[in-house]
Amino acid sequence: MKTSINYPDIFCQRLKAARLSKGLSQKSLGILAGIDEFVASTRINRYEKGVHQANIEIAQQLATALDVPLAYFYMVDDQLAELTLSWGKLSDLDKTELLAQAKAKSSLWLG
């Protein structure tokens, strides 16, 4: 039986994890993302709890404030999400080498 993926829950979990890893309060993150300081804490709390869903523009502002790729918030696979976070910190040469390795390994499976 195939289980459905709850993407809003994934967003909530990744947002909170990224915020905590940066050591930010909900209010601080909201302010960094350009949300009015008087509602910043409440808005971030509601995004993390899934009470409200951030639209793509707000999600991008949050990603920028947290220095994470936007895609990180939506990745189902935890290892891929972690790799995505690491990717941005690699040099261009390291990215090229890693991509070549991944392609070579995946071609072994594709035949």
CA 49 to chain centre: 16
Q: What is the pLDDT of residues 32-44, one digit of tens each?
A: 999 999 999 999 9
Local confidence band at 3 (pLDDT 50, 70, 90 cut-offs):
confident
Indicate yes or no: pTM above 0.75. Answer: yes
- pLDDT score, position 110: 58
Q: How many CA atoms lie within 13 A of 13 on its CB side?
A: 11
Q: Is 8 in contact with 50 (CB distance < 8 Å)?
A: yes
Q: Is 18 in contact with 48 (CB distance < 8 Å)?
A: no
